[in-house]
Amino acid sequence: MRAVGLITEYNPFHAGHEYHLEQAKAMSGAETAIAVMSGNFVQRGVPAMYDKWKRAQAAVQNGVDLVIELPVAFSIQPGPFFAKGAVQILLAAGVDTIVFGAEHAQWDFMKLARTVRDVTTHSDEFHNYQTTYASNFNTVLMDKLGVTINEPNDLLGLSYALAVLELDAQDQVALMPLQRQGSGYHATQISDEDFASASGIRHVLKNGLPKEKLSQQLPTGTQQLLMEAPFLDYEPNMWNLLHYKVLTTPVEQLESIYQLNDGLAYRLLETVEKNAESKQIDWNVFMQQFKSKRYTYSRLQRSILYLLLNVSEIEMKVALKQPYIRPLAFNANGQLWLKHGRKNFTLPIIGKVDQNNLKGLLKLDFRAGRLYNMLRSNSDEKPQDTKRQPYRKQ
């Protein structure tokens, strides 16, 4: 039995993801589909609209065989770290193919990655700190290769290929790009004729627009999720937590937080103090005030999350060296894969959570789960990482 790997956020699972799943099995010839999915926080540095358990359950109800959590240390990172963690976990779980969406599926991403690795290793352009890394990156690529990689799925595809090279896994796993269909990654318009983006679906839910607009975009399992679980409106509580944290912490301690250095701690303090009298705030306006030319919005949002999680440089470095396999949901096929494959898994597998896990491998994810629940309006939500069992589809 063979397995194909999918690297996902499922925020939420929609018709485009269903197409990805169907095509991945067809392209790879695999009988089992294993998704590595971001937990309660996604790569942009914000909470997922529904918690990891509900999103994993929806994925399995819609045809994924096994959902494994991407630990928060990897899920709230830029592409290279995000990709490396996901690829490591899929390799450890025994997949031999990874199928990913791409805006330019005709590209040979492994060939491109080999060239990029050489170019970025020897170029001085990456020491230009007045612009973002992405800008420097594309300046070099255009100069050396005559190509620009600035579409989000293409960038992730390149990151997956670079991760395969770094892990020396070219003989273990094949990368298969799948042409992205439907709306653009950031598009917010919903059309019955195209696959909507996750951004568009979140836009409808966040702004209280009629959910009937989504009927053609969401498989049955996701529609059930939307009826049963409220959408997470995190911004008011995030502002309150950030406001308190920044104004009660000496700036020298703020600088000890992972990636809150090089003047960012002082900039954050100034921005918070500017809004110190506000009980509520428009989060987008706040982020525009915090923004600088050097950093992207996602990078700055992640910095805020690192602060709220109280992650130090050392703690993050340790966590990035300790990936693990934690199943969140599976069907009979996925359970069979776990049963027969676990003796060959090359990473620790976490089933039942105990105190050793909470103080060790799950330490950062445990904090992230607590923060996620603090961002909810309903304080009675049960803990995210204790007294939980993976969802089993009967």
Does residue 73 lie within any of the structural domains? yes
Question: Does 19 carry a binding-site annotation?
Answer: yes
Nearest 5°: phi and psi at 191? -130, 140
Indicate the pairing of strand 327-330 with strand 66-70. antiparallel
Say which residue, 142 or 213, is predicted with more confidence.
142
Whether the per-residue pLDDT at 312 is higher than 90: the answer is yes
Question: Does 235 carry a binding-site annotation?
Answer: no
Give yes or no: residues 157 and 272 share one domain: no
**Single-letter amino acid code for the residue at 68:** I
Q: Position of tokens 């918070």?
A: 272
User: Which one of 291, 318, 345 terminates a domain?
Assistant: 318
Question: Does 231 carry a binding-site annotation?
Answer: no
Give yes or no: residues 155 and 264 share one domain: no
User: Which one of 202, 227, 252 terminates a domain?
Assistant: 227
Question: Does 8 carry a binding-site annotation?
Answer: yes
Nearest 5°: phi and psi at 288? -65, -35
Whether the per-residue pLDDT at 335 is higher than 60: the answer is yes
Give yes or no: residues 135 and 245 share one domain: no
Indicate the pairing of strand 97-102 with strand 66-70. unpaired
Predicted pLDDT at 37: 98
Question: Does 9 carry a binding-site annotation?
Answer: yes
Whether the per-residue pLDDT at 4 is higher than 80: the answer is yes
Mean local confidence (pLDDT), 310-324: 96
Give yes or no: residues 194 and 298 share one domain: no
Give yes or no: residues 206 and 267 share one domain: no
Give yes or no: residues 90 and 239 share one domain: no
pLDDT one-digit tens code per residue, 76-119: 999 999 999 999 999 999 999 999 999 999 999 998 888 888 87
Predicted pLDDT at 279: 78
* Mean pLDDT for the chain overall: 88
Predicted pLDDT at 106: 93
Question: Does 14 carry a binding-site annotation?
Answer: yes
Q: How far apart are CA 164 and CA 91, in angstroms?
A: 10
Give yes or no: residues 38 and 164 share one domain: yes
Does residue 110 lie within any of the structural domains? yes
Q: Name the maximum alpha-carbon separation found in the chain.
A: 60
Q: Where are the alpha helices (DSSP H) in the chain?
A: 15-28, 52-61, 72-75, 79-92, 109-122, 133-145, 152-166, 198-206, 220-228, 235-247, 251-254, 264-274, 283-290, 297-309, 313-320, 332-341, 355-359, 363-374
Does residue 343 lie within any of the structural domains? no
In Å, how far are 245, 276, 314 from 356, measured between CA atoms?
28, 40, 20
In Å, how far are 17, 61, 214 from 219, measured between CA atoms?
10, 9, 10
Does residue 35 lie within any of the structural domains? yes
User: What's the token pair of residue 384?
Assistant: 């995210």
pLDDT one-digit tens code per residue, 154-201: 999 999 999 999 999 999 999 999 998 765 555 445 555 567 777 777
Question: Does 20 carry a binding-site annotation?
Answer: yes
User: Which one of 318, 349, 371 terminates a domain?
Assistant: 318
Lowest mean pLDDT among 31-40, 56-65, 166-175, 209-218: 209-218
Please say whether the beta carbons of 84 and 167 come within 8 A: yes
225 CB contacts (<8 Å, ≥6 apart)?
Answer: 12, 50, 54, 55, 57, 58
Predicted pLDDT at 300: 96
Question: Does 17 carry a binding-site annotation?
Answer: yes
Say which residue, 53 or 15, is predicted with more confidence.
53
pLDDT one-digit tens code per residue, 58-71: 999 999 999 999 99
Question: Does 351 carry a binding-site annotation?
Answer: no
Question: Does 202 carry a binding-site annotation?
Answer: no
Give yes or no: residues 214 and 240 share one domain: no
Does residue 9 lie within any of the structural domains? yes
Give yes or no: residues 219 and 305 share one domain: no
Question: Does 203 carry a binding-site annotation?
Answer: no
Predicted pLDDT at 352: 85
Q: Which domain holds residue 299?
A: 235-318
Give yes or no: residues 198 and 249 share one domain: no
Give yes or no: residues 265 and 210 share one domain: no
Whether the per-residue pLDDT at 202 is higher than 80: the answer is no
Quick one: 182 exposed, middle or buried, by C-beta within 10 A (0-12, 13-18, 19+)?
Answer: middle
Q: Residue 394's pLDDT band (boundaries 50, 70, 90)? A: confident
Whether the per-residue pLDDT at 211 is higher than 90: the answer is no
Does residue 120 lie within any of the structural domains? yes
Give yes or no: residues 221 and 265 share one domain: no
Question: Does 104 carry a binding-site annotation?
Answer: no
Predicted pLDDT at 234: 87
Q: Which of 81, 100, 68 is nearest to 298 (CA)?
A: 81
Whether the per-residue pLDDT at 130 is higher than 80: the answer is no
Q: Residue 366's pLDDT band (boundaries 50, 70, 90)? A: very high
Whether the per-residue pLDDT at 124 is higher than 70: the answer is no
Predicted pLDDT at 258: 96
Q: Residue 313's pLDDT band (boundaries 50, 70, 90)? A: very high
Residue 383's Cβ-side half-sphere holds a number of Cα atoms within 13 Å equal to 10
Q: How many helices (H) and strands (E) does the chain have?
A: 18, 7
Does residue 355 lie within any of the structural domains? no
Does residue 393 lie within any of the structural domains? no
Question: Does 153 carry a binding-site annotation?
Answer: yes
Mean local confidence (pLDDT), 277-306: 91
Identify the CATH number of the domain in which residue 62 sits.
3.40.50.620
Percentage of the chain with pLDDT > 70? 88
Q: How far apart are CA 56 and CA 309, in angstroms?
A: 23
Q: How many domains does the chain have?
A: 2
178 CB contacts (<8 Å, ≥6 apart)?
Answer: 20, 23, 24, 27, 99, 100, 101, 102, 105
